Amino acid sequence: MSTAQAFLRYAAPAAWRGMQSQSIGMINAGPIARGGKSAVATRAFFTSPAVATGAAGTGPEVAAAAPAASNNAGNWIRGVLAAGLVGGGLFSYALFTSKLPQKGSLTPPPFVTSSKPGDYEAVKTAIRSILDVEGYDDGSYGPVLVRLAWHASGSYDAKTNTGGSNGATMRFSPECEFGANAGLQVARELLEPLKKQFPWITYADLWTLAGATAVEEMGGPPVPWRAGREDKPPVPAPCPPDGRLPDAAQGAAHIRDIFYRMGFNDQEIVALSGAHALGRCHTTRSGFDGPWGNSPTTMSNMYFQDLVNRHWQKRTWKGPLQYEDKESKALMMLPTDMALLWDKAFKPWVKLYAKDEERFFKDFASAFSKLMELGVAFPLEAKYI
């Protein structure tokens, strides 16, 4: 069949059916532009409901086929001719260049939809596509996704084997309303479309995979991750008690209480604290204010370098106790950050990581992976990706 006939059937099915009802006698259309990039472009073109197009040659074919049509049919044919003339250029553009103008409804989605169970690389690709955005904090959702994975996992208690990433219990009240989790609805809502796009992945796996992916995309180390976490139902109430996450206003004793409860040692505590290279504090969430470093969307060992090399003083303001650097007064540290520098057992690790970013990345990747796996009974076939 001709290009015009094929176009009418796929791009204007109503017109195609109308022609059949007028006994014009067009034959059944077949696939167009099979294979290669042209097929992709043509499919993209045909799936756009906002554009009615035609092709060169449509006018003579239709005119020759309808000498006995009624006035209404004639008007319909003239409409088709007009549509063909207006849209022919765009159709030809799509067919022969394999590219579409990136505008309006023709703009393709940022990632390829896939619901194939176990295709975690596709999920990671989708996560990468939503990280950078203008108008949110410092231009990236990466830090808040790392925080979501951290807080979803950091509620674990080794003695009772409760809490942790398994279950994704922050979906429910009261955990989603805990003060330590303020602002994380941003991250949960951001990932909701991906949960719909990949319905086979659990929330618990999605949240942790998003955190691991964000770390790597922001310049950090690859974090070992594997699937196998389950989502708990809303009843019976599955949430861990409040108070299991670190309180930034406390000191070294509190830090150890929190992390020892999960099974971490001093070295791992300091390594995990290096995530403060990312993001910033918000007065509307934690009550604290400001970024830890000058590059809050880049994972590096600058957090430790700044902690060691800058001079820190108490900030004079109406908010809770926090520290600012004397040099610029633009950066901040929390009491828990300063505790790492002041504690005799923590400080050597702080100084080591300030000098050796490679060692920090190695230890952080190991500790963050461990954090996200606490309390999870992975199936035997679970493999790291």
Cα separation of 271 and 340, whole Å? 11
Cis peptide before 236, with omega less than 30 degrees from 0? yes
Smallest CA-to-CA distance from 344 within 261, 255, 266 is with 266
pLDDT the model gives residue 349: 98
Whether residue 157 is predicted with pLDDT greater than 70 in this model: the reply is yes
pLDDT bucket at 23, cuts 50 / 70 / 90: very low
> Averaged over 111-126, what is the pLDDT?
82
Tell me the pLDDT tens digit for each residue of 283-320. Answer: 999 999 999 999 999 999 999 999 999 999 999 999 99
> Averaged over 67-77, what is the pLDDT?
45
Cα separation of 148 and 187, whole Å? 7
Whether residue 48 is predicted with pLDDT greater than 90 in this model: the reply is no
Whether residue 99 is predicted with pLDDT greater than 50 in this model: the reply is no
pLDDT the model gives residue 160: 96
pLDDT the model gives residue 113: 53
Phi and psi at residue 161, to the nearest 5°: 55, 45
Whether residue 237 is predicted with pLDDT greater than 90 in this model: the reply is no
> Averaged over 101-105, what is the pLDDT?
33
Cα separation of 370 and 366, whole Å? 6
Whether residue 36 is predicted with pLDDT greater than 60 in this model: the reply is no
Phi and psi at residue 323, to the nearest 5°: -120, 150
**Residues 235, 130 contacting (CB under 8 angstroms):** no
**Residues 148, 189 contacting (CB under 8 angstroms):** no
pLDDT bucket at 115, cuts 50 / 70 / 90: low
Angle between helices 120-129 and 203-217 (to 10 degrees): 60
Cα separation of 14 and 336, whole Å? 67
Q: Which residue has the higher pLDDT, 326 or 98?
A: 326
Instruction: Write out the H or E segment, with its range, that includes residue 291.
Output: strand 290-291
Instruction: Write out the H or E segment, with its range, that includes residue 367.
Output: helix 357-373
pLDDT the model gives residue 277: 97
Active site residue 200: no
Q: How many helices (H) and strands (E) does the chain have?
A: 15, 5
**In the chain, % of residues over pLDDT 90:** 68
Tell me the pLDDT tens digit for each residue of 245-265. Answer: 999 999 999 999 999 999 999
pLDDT the model gives residue 22: 42
Whether residue 103 is predicted with pLDDT greater than 80 in this model: the reply is no
**Which residue is listed with tokens 């007028």?**
22
* Catalytic residue selected from 151, 276, 312, 349: 151
Cα separation of 320 and 201, whole Å? 40
Buried residues in 88-126 as b, exposed as e (16+ CB within 10 A): bebbebbbeebebeeeeebeeeebeeeeeeeebebbbeb
**Which of 58-62, 116-120, 131-135, 142-146 is the most confident on average?**
142-146
- Angle 203-246-141 (CA atoms, 0-180°, nearest 5)? 45
Q: Which residue has the higher pLDDT, 100 or 303?
A: 303
pLDDT the model gives residue 116: 87
Active site residue 76: no
Tell me the pLDDT tens digit for each residue of 164-218. Answer: 999 999 999 999 999 999 999 999 999 999 999 999 999 999 999 999 999 999 9
pLDDT bucket at 47, cuts 50 / 70 / 90: very low
* Catalytic residue selected from 150, 292, 312, 349: 292
Secondary structure of 188-199 as H, E, C letters: HHHHHHHHHHCC
Whether residue 84 is predicted with pLDDT greater than 50 in this model: the reply is no
Span of 79-83, 89-93, 380-384 with lowest mean pLDDT: 89-93
Q: Which residue has the higher pLDDT, 70 or 321?
A: 321
